[in-house]
A and B are shown apart, each in its own frame.
Chain A
Amino acid sequence: MELKIKNLRKDYGNFPALNDVNLDIRSGELIALLGPSGSGKTTLLRAIAGLESPDGGQIFFGDRDASRQSVQERNVGFVFQHYALFRHMKILDNIAFGLRFGQGRKRKSEAEIRRKVLELLDLVQLNGLEGRYPSQLSGGQRQRVALARALAIEPQVLLLDEPFGALDAQVRKGLRRWLRQIHDETGHTTVFVTHDQEEAMELSDRVAVLHKGGLQQVGTPDEIYDTPATPFVYAFIGDSTSLPVEVHNGEAIFEGRTLRIGRVDPPDGPGRLHIRPQDVSLTTPAEGVVRGQIIGLRRSGGYRRADISVGVKHDRVEALLPPEQEVSVGDQVGLEFRRYAAFADDKEPPKLGLAREKQAA
């Protein structure tokens, strides 16, 4: 099922939770809605499900305008962050719920329902647990039951709201692979919300990045990471640091040194150059495009991170170095940038630290 979201708007009081969102979701793809908290990603997902009524815009399921349809009519599979399993029902009854009570659905015999439930339990690898209650299962098992319950109604589209948000890291990684596998087996169009960029990048065919109710960029994980379309995406996805520059005739000028701007050409005037730490390499002060002094060194996994103070205003640039490279704090170095992008200077530059803290939380 192909989904088309057109000019979707939702206001909570004075602040827009969704601000004219346009998004096409392809049939059979696994797409992530990624953004920090308050970006509107969950509101968008709930609007697709029909659990939230938008203030404007349309949602198409295929050619059919679903905007005025009720939740029940939309026939979507929805998986909640905290599972929302029916606590007083056994696993079998949880999964069978939609088959038994779904409006406008053809009644099945109990034997058929049971067969279908056992089949789904097999799919989510929970054979033999049909007689248990939700409270007797672990978090990861509960979420798999929730997915089986959503799949039972043979939904047109599968929607997952931070499905792994409440699980610990180990379980989360396992479930991530497993969800991808289920998706490939069943072929449902799947939309899932996450604030975890690693999850979004690893799991999905495409990623839609949201910020303050607006869609920032939609693309494959490679596109999102390698060619971020906005300063926010640059800051939110992966690591990056930025330098204030003057943009002039397709060149970025930092304190008299010019850097050719590749992909993006912002209008002339003040701008900001975004660089990822792994795209910075160190040379001698004479050879580098920009000169600076190392003010800090930290070990980070297989690499070392260097904080380099650059220019007269002591702007901070981060570089990812191989651990064998011999540098020490206080060294004067030259910097070379393998890849970077310049954007017109925002009044409020993206708060890098904040964005990253929110992902970690």
Chain B
Amino acid sequence: MSADAALALGPSSGLSEPVRLPSPVTESRLAQIALIAIAVAFLAFFLLLPLIAVFAEALRRGVNAYFASFTDPDTLSAIWLTVVVAAIAVPLNIVFGLAASWAIAKFDFKGKSFLLSLIDLPFSVSPVVAGMCYVLLFGAQGYFGHWLDSHNLQIIFAIPGLVLATIFVTFPFVARELIPLMQEQGTSEEEASLSLGAGGFRTFWSVTLPNVRWALLYGVLLCNARAMGEFGAVSVVSGHLRGLTNTIPLQVEILYNEYNFVAAFAVASVLASLGLVTLAIKSGLEWRYGDQISAAHRH
């Protein structure tokens, strides 16, 4: 058979019975199943199982015992304190975060990258260290302790200390969410607004803020979840005064250490629910406004 004949036969024999070849850029079926199974098992073991355990333990003695856990005045005051601390820390961080990201994304100045690293500091520093710093500054033996004491001001082992520690830990969430988006959006819309005669505040309120509203909400959500769930920094500055300076996470620890498992898990389930709600809203935001949230996601 000549080469020409072979060439002529080649394609026609291929046509009669098409062979389905696997895509050259996909793993084999077996490898796919194995990888997915590993991922699912990992998630189930490390995330799903503990979550179920929290609710299972909380409801071990029935629904009545579960709800009875919330009649304890110490627990109620812990929940109330957590809400108060978050209600102060989160709005302040919205203001700080907006100001910082506005400055970083829309203006050029010296020390900009230094400011950026400062914003990231709470991510890299252990919260316990942050708490210690506040004790060192404002505690009874601290640098300002004497002055504070003589003016009858208490920061450590009181609400101000809890708020300070929470602000420190949750500072990056809003700013980190807004900076990449604001940088991507640039300044031309603001310039357009100015050229149309609008003032600086009007421009911020009507142009800059609406452009980042969903990213801001996203950041606030994460910030709030962290503010309510923070343990390390808050633990150091709280002093664990029952009914006075215990937040939800600290209350859970105390109840657990007292072998009051049902109550511990019941209170923990409140935090877990908060996490689930946060996750649901977060996913909703990502699904609906993904393009308006952030170019680069870190969370």
Task: Kindly identify which residue among B195, B202, B207 contacts A78, using a CB–CB cutoff of 8 Å.
Answer: B195
* A98-B196 in contact given A78-B191, A80-B188 (Cβ < 8 Å): yes
Q: Give the chain A neighbours of B91 by CB distance below 8 A.
A: none
Q: How far is the CA of A32 from the CA of B60 in the complex (A)?
A: 80
Q: How far is the CA of A86 from the CA of B205 in the complex (A)?
A: 12
A104 and B197 within 8 A (CB)? yes
Which of A68-76, A283-291, A315-323 is near enough to bind chain B? Answer: A68-76
Q: How far is the CA of A230 from the CA of B192 in the complex (A)?
A: 36
Q: How far is the CA of A50 from the CA of B207 in the complex (A)?
A: 19
Q: How far is the CB of B213 from chain A (nearest CB, A)?
A: 8
Identity of the chain A residue whose Cβ is nearest the Cβ of B188 in the assembled complex? A84
B195 and A97 within 8 A (CB)? no
* A77-B195 in contact given A87-B189, A88-B210 (Cβ < 8 Å): yes
Interface assignment of B50: CB less than 8 Å from any CB of chain A: no
Q: Give the chain B neighbours of A50 by CB distance below 8 A.
A: 195
In this complex, the member of B195, B206, B211 whose beta carbon has the largest number of chain A beta carbons within 10 angstroms is B195
Q: Give the chain A neighbours of B62 by CB distance below 8 A.
A: none
* A105-B189 in contact given A86-B207, A87-B211, A88-B210 (Cβ < 8 Å): no
Interface size, chain A (Cβ < 8 Å): 29
Q: Give the chain A neighbours of B199 by CB distance below 8 A.
A: 72, 101, 103
Q: Give the chain A neighbours of B207 by CB distance below 8 A.
A: 86
List residues of A (109-155) whose CB comes within 8 Å of B's CBs: 146, 149-150, 152-153
Q: How far is the CB of A174 from chain B (nearest CB, A)?
A: 24
How many CB-defined contacts (below 8 Å) exist between A and B?
71
List residues of B (213-233) whose CB comes within 8 Å of A's CBs: 213
A84 and B189 within 8 A (CB)? yes
Interface assignment of A51: CB less than 8 Å from any CB of chain B: yes
Task: Kindly identify which residue among A72, A84, A88, A104 contacts B192, using a CB–CB cutoff of 8 Å.
Answer: A84
Q: How far is the CB of B155 from chain A (nearest CB, A)?
A: 41
Identity of the chain B residue whose Cβ is nearest the Cβ of A135 in the assembled complex? B291
A51 and B211 within 8 A (CB)? no
Q: How far is the CB of B205 from chain A (nearest CB, A)?
A: 10
* A51-B194 in contact given A86-B189, A86-B207 (Cβ < 8 Å): yes
Q: Give the chain B neighbours of A78 by CB distance below 8 A.
A: 191-192, 195
Interface size, chain B (Cβ < 8 Å): 17
Identity of the chain B residue whose Cβ is nearest the Cβ of A101 in the assembled complex? B198
Interface assignment of A82: CB less than 8 Å from any CB of chain B: yes
Q: How far is the CB of B8 from chain A (nearest CB, A)?
A: 40
A88 and B211 within 8 A (CB)? yes
List residues of B (2-35) whose CB comes within 8 Å of A's CBs: none
List residues of A (44-85) whose CB comes within 8 Å of B's CBs: 49-51, 71-72, 75-78, 80, 82, 84-85
Interface assignment of A238: CB less than 8 Å from any CB of chain B: no
* A101-B196 in contact given A51-B191, A84-B188, A84-B191 (Cβ < 8 Å): yes
Interface assignment of A102: CB less than 8 Å from any CB of chain B: yes
Interface assignment of B193: CB less than 8 Å from any CB of chain A: yes
Identity of the chain A residue whose Cβ is nearest the Cβ of B291 in the assembled complex? A135
Q: Give the chain B neighbours of A86 by CB distance below 8 A.
A: 189, 192-193, 206-207, 210-211
Identity of the chain A residue whose Cβ is nearest the Cβ of B205 in the assembled complex? A101
Q: Give the chain B neighbours of A85 by CB distance below 8 A.
A: 189, 192
Task: Kindly identify which residue among A87, A88, A89, A149 contacts B196, using a CB–CB cutoff of 8 Å.
Answer: A149
B210 and A76 within 8 A (CB)? no
* A153-B196 in contact given A88-B211, A101-B202 (Cβ < 8 Å): yes
Identity of the chain B residue whose Cβ is nearest the Cβ of A146 in the assembled complex? B192
* A97-B198 in contact given A86-B207, A87-B211, A88-B210 (Cβ < 8 Å): yes
In this complex, the member of A51, A75, A82, A152 whose beta carbon has the largest number of chain B beta carbons within 10 angstroms is A51
A153 and B192 within 8 A (CB)? no
Task: Kindly identify which residue among B189, B192, B198, B213 contacts A102, using a CB–CB cutoff of 8 Å.
Answer: B198
Q: How far is the CA of A76 from the CA of B194 in the complex (A)?
A: 10
Task: Kindly identify which residue among B194, B210, B213 contacts A71, using a CB–CB cutoff of 8 Å.
Answer: B194
Q: Give the chain A neighbours of B211 by CB distance below 8 A.
A: 86-88
Interface string of A306-328 (1 = CB under 8 A from B): 00000000000000000000000
Q: Give the chain B neighbours of A77 by CB distance below 8 A.
A: 195
Interface string of B161-180 (1 = CB under 8 A from A): 00000000000000000000
Q: Give the chain B neighbours of A72 by CB distance below 8 A.
A: 194, 197-199
Q: How far is the CB of A73 from chain B (nearest CB, A)?
A: 9
Q: How far is the CB of A59 from chain B (nearest CB, A)?
A: 15
Q: How far is the CB of B185 from chain A (nearest CB, A)?
A: 8
Task: Kindly identify which residue among B195, B198, B210 contacts A49, using a CB–CB cutoff of 8 Å.
Answer: B195
Q: How far is the CA of A87 from the CA of B194 in the complex (A)?
A: 16
* A103-B195 in contact given A84-B189, A88-B210, A88-B211 (Cβ < 8 Å): no
Q: How far is the CA of A152 from the CA of B206 in the complex (A)?
A: 18
Q: Give the chain A neighbours of B202 by CB distance below 8 A.
A: 101
Q: 15 extra interchain contacts, Cβ-Cβ under 8 A, other than A78-B191, A101-B206, A102-B197?
A: A50-B195, A71-B194, A78-B192, A78-B195, A84-B191, A86-B210, A88-B211, A88-B213, A89-B210, A101-B202, A102-B198, A104-B197, A149-B196, A152-B196, A153-B197
**11 residue pairs bridging A and B, Cβ less than 8 Å apart:** A72-B199, A77-B195, A80-B192, A82-B188, A86-B192, A88-B210, A97-B196, A98-B196, A101-B193, A101-B196, A101-B198
Binding site for A on B (CB under 8 A): 188-189, 191-199, 202, 206-207, 210-211, 213
Binding site for B on A (CB under 8 A): 49-51, 71-72, 75-78, 80, 82, 84-89, 97-98, 101-105, 146, 149-150, 152-153
